[in-house]
A = this chain, B = another copy of it.
């Protein structure tokens, strides 16, 4: 199954890759590695804002993290032209907007990790860090950056 078919099966329509909100670029290639800028939780319907442990459920947080995954994949498509060129999702850095008593950060970031595995199969199995922040850009719930290996 192609990555494109897997995304369809997961019910995902890739949006246009988003331009950065500030003076940087969405990705840089060095050697066979693609470094992707932190993608925030935004969908065609707008920003997914909120703080876990305060005004969002874990499920809502997972949907926010899934939106980050979709935006990361859209950047891979823009950078590589063909998602079949992805040979491995190497590392995700997950940042969750969370109140100080919210400890289920890994469950939230799984919303991003799960879609990577759905889309890329074993090539989508990645190393990861997942931490909390007191706030994130524009008040979004989740931001995730990535290192991707490609051929």
Contacts and interface: CB of A to CB of B under 8 A. Distances in A.
Interface of A: 20-28, 30-33, 35-38, 51, 88-93, 95, 98-107, 109-110, 113-114, 117, 125-139, 143, 145, 147, 149
Given A133-B133, A135-B100, A35 B127 contact: yes
Contact of A36 (B92, B113, B127): B127
Given A24-B125, A103-B135, 20 more contacts: A22-B128, A25-B126, A27-B127, A28-B88, A28-B125, A30-B33, A35-B127, A35-B147, A38-B128, A93-B129, A95-B129, A100-B135, A101-B135, A103-B137, A105-B137, A131-B133, A131-B137, A132-B136, A133-B133, A134-B134
Contacts of A37: 127-129
Tell me the number of copies of this protein.
Answer: 3
Q: Which of A25, A89, A138 has the most CB of B within 10 A?
A: A25
21 contacts: A24-B126, A24-B127, A25-B125, A27-B127, A28-B89, A28-B90, A28-B126, A30-B33, A30-B147, A31-B32, A35-B90, A37-B127, A38-B128, A38-B131, A51-B100, A103-B138, A105-B137, A106-B138, A129-B143, A129-B145, A134-B134
